[in-house]
A and B are shown apart, each in its own frame.
Chain A
Amino acid sequence: MEVIASLIVAILTLMAWSMLYRETVFYRFVEHLIIGFSMGYTLYITIDTLKKIWISPMLAGNWILIIPAILGFLLYTSFSERYRYLSRWGIAAIAGSGAGFAVGRAVPVQIIGQIKPFFLNLREVGAPAIINWLVVIITTVTTLAYFTFTREHKGALGWAAKIGRWSMMAAFGATFGATIGCDLLYIIERCIFLHKAPQVYLLPIAIIVIVVDILRRGGK
């Protein structure tokens, strides 16, 4: 069973990678296969979770759950031109509570929690720590200045916004560099998988198929 799975996956990997050569039906096949698998699993977990958080508690006597179920099923009216407005009720409940839980915690964690580290006893730390502290303060404040849109970015605010933009570029550069570092892992992982037997024997076959296709197409 392991060998069969390995061969199936190797064939799927090479079919997907055929896109590197040119747009092919093989790539589209793998792409749609994954969409289908994802939908199948989502359907399974939705029904399974529904049984656990709705059907079972209802059968145990928690009949009040019929109200959120109705609001939840009203979400499906979004597919009807005529009754679409009813889906807004469920969406409003989900969005309202989600925003409430997020805002309630954003103040202590993301605002107060992020301002707190600025309070540093400068007498207890050395010069490097003070310099770093200044760097952090300047980059934070100037980044916030960049997002101040109620005033035109001129004069002191203009300079602050400019430094803020440079700081953000450093942060985005770090993010982009790190993203490259992690997205290469997908290719590496697949290569490590493909180099093992029996899937490694599929590599020359794939190369031959590409060469034949190039010749058939007259080197286009």
Chain B
Amino acid sequence: MSWVRRREIPLLIFAITFIIGCFGYYIEHPAMGKIYSTLFDWVLLMSNLALGTGLIAMTLYHGKKIAKREKGYEMSFVVFGALILMFVSCYASPASREYLYAKIYTPASIAILCFTGFSEISGLYRAFRVRSVEAFFLALAGFILLMHFAPVYGFFIPGVEKVASWLLDNPAMGASRGIVIGVAIGTIAIAIRVLLGYEKAYTG
């Protein structure tokens, strides 16, 4: 059974699924259409099962923490308690699911995410310091966008909206376009590297 360990197998699976995914749409043939459509059914099912790996990893992590009485293990009970509560309420009825999800979970998540705002603002105090030409462009664009997102400036100083629009429509858009094209070329390059066996993250 040593053949099952061969790294050519995942590479072959990657190559077949890649080719079908990439060219299946462009090849108009009933057989290809059937294969293309079947691939979707298969991958959707596998992707759904992949969600379970994350759940198992988290369960193992918190389970081990409780078993070994590690520091802060009490909080792992909170995780399992919340897990059971949400799971049961989701199955109990749409009303209980919506109550727990929309009225408790959503606002509580927002409360935690507030810390991105708090830390970004304190970080911004240092990040927008003009130390170099690059920092000047960063700070200038950031400042204009801050004014753009504060509606009061756009209303009382019409020029703000024009400058912000020009910035977003031209220099910032041009740089982003360069990044978009670069990302697309990079995606293709990575796929080719995997196919040639240079990139081993997915195929072992």
Contact = CB atoms under 8 A, between A and B. Distances in A.
Contacts of A85: 4-5, 204
B122 to A, nearest CB: 11
Contact of B86 (A44, A115, A193): A44
A146 B143 CA distance: 25
B114 A17 contact: yes
B78 A114 contact: no
B141 A173 contact: yes
B17 interface: yes
Contact of B144 (A100, A177, A183, A184): A177
B30 interface: no
Given A135-B170, A138-B174, A141-B178, A169 B138 contact: yes
Interface string A175-193: 0111111111111011001
A59 interface: no
Nearest to A147: B182
A39 B79 contact: yes
B50 A72 contact: yes
Contacts of A69: 45, 49
Interface residues of B, number: 124
A96 B13 contact: yes
Interface centre among B100, B124, B180 (most CB of A within 10 A): B180
Interface in B38-86: 38-39, 41-60, 72, 75-76, 78-86
B90 interface: yes
Given A99-B18, A177-B142, A190-B114, A111 B103 contact: no
B174 A139 contact: yes
A87 B166 CA distance: 49
Interface of B: 4-5, 7, 9-11, 13-26, 38-39, 41-60, 72, 75-76, 78-87, 90-91, 97, 99-101, 103-105, 107-118, 120-121, 124, 127, 133-135, 137-146, 148-150, 166-185, 187-188, 190-191, 194, 202-204
